[in-house]
Amino acid sequence: MKVSVKGCVFCATVLAALLMVDPVLAQLRTGSGGKLSPIGQPKVSQANKAGEDKVEIKRFPPPNKTAMVRTPEFNAAVTGGQPKISKRPREWALFEVKYSTPSKWMDELSFTYHVMAKGKDDDGKDAYSYYTLTLRYINIPKGDHMSSVALPPSMVERYGEPISLALEIVGKDGTVLATQSETIINYPTKEWWKDSNVLDKPQVSRRTGLMDRSKTPFALINADDYEVVQ
C-alpha cells in the first residue's frame, strides 16, 4: 500500500498535537496534589479555607465590677401613676462578647466560657468558685454577632463576684478559631482554665450555675443580635 508524503506529514502533526495536549489534560484533571478533580473546578487551598473559617473577637468584657448589671424591669403595671419597681433590685454578672465571622455561612460554632469568682468561706477566708459552660450556635451568617452568659444574683451573692473570664471558640471540626482571657489576678500559666495546679487547689470549688443569656431576663433585649443556640 502506498502512503503519500502529505499523508505522513498530516499524521505526524496530529500525533505531536496529542502528545502535547495529554500532559495538559492530565495536569488539569489531577491538580497539584495528583488526585483527580473535575476540569474547570480548581481545588480550594487549605490556606483559603482556614481564612474563611476565621473568627475575630471584637469586644471582650473585663471580669470586674463593670460586669455587674441589675435585673432589667419589664413590669408595665402602673400603681398610682408610677411604674411598679422591684423593692430589691439584684445584680447579675453578665458577660457580653462581640465577635465577627467572614464566611457567608458557618454551620456551627462552639463557645466555651470559663469564669472564676472570688468570695469568702464560712470562716471568712478567701474562697474561689470555677464555672464553665459551652454554647453551640448554628447557621451563623457573615458579619458581627453577640454571645453572652451570666451568673445569677444568688450565685454572685453566695460565692462572690467574677475575677477571671476566658473564652474558647471552636469550629465544627474541632479547630480552635479564637481564644481570649481577661483576669484581675495572676495565675502561674496563661491558660489558667486548663491548669490543674489552679483548678485543683483546695480553695477552688467547681460549680454549676453559669447560664446562657437566653435563659435570663436579658433574653428580650436586642434578641436579633444573638444566634440560635442548639
Annotate 38-50 with b (16+ C-beta within 10 A) or e (fewer).
Answer: eeeeeeeeeeeee
Q: Say if residue 186 is exposed, middle or buried (CB neighbours under 10 Å; 0-12, 13-18, 19+).
A: exposed
The H-or-E segment that residue 24 falls in is helix 5-30
Q: Is the pLDDT of residue 36 over 90?
A: no
- Strand-strand pairing, 204-206 and 126-151: parallel
The per-residue pLDDT for 64 is 85
Alpha-carbon gap, residue 213 to 87, rounded angstroms:
24
Q: Output the CA torsion sign for 149, 179, 129, 90.
A: negative
pLDDT interval class at 186 (50, 70, 90): very high
pLDDT band at 72 (very low <50, low <70, confident <90, very high): confident
pLDDT for 189-211, tens place per residue? 999 999 999 999 999 999 999 99
Query: Would you state the cell numbers that stand for residue 133, as one nine-digit string?
Result: 459552660
Report the percent of the chain where pLDDT is more than 90.
61
Q: Which residues contact 145 (CB under 8 A, 6 or more apart)?
A: 98, 99, 100, 101, 137, 225, 226, 227
Distance spanning both ends of the chain, measured CA to CA: 79
Q: Is the pLDDT of residue 215 over 50?
A: yes
Q: What pLDDT score does 169 carry?
A: 98
28: DSSP letter = H
Helix, strand, or coil here: 85? coil
pLDDT digits (tens, 9 = 90+) for 84-122: 555 677 999 999 999 999 999 999 999 999 999 999 999
Which tops the pLDDT comparison, 30 or 138?
Answer: 138
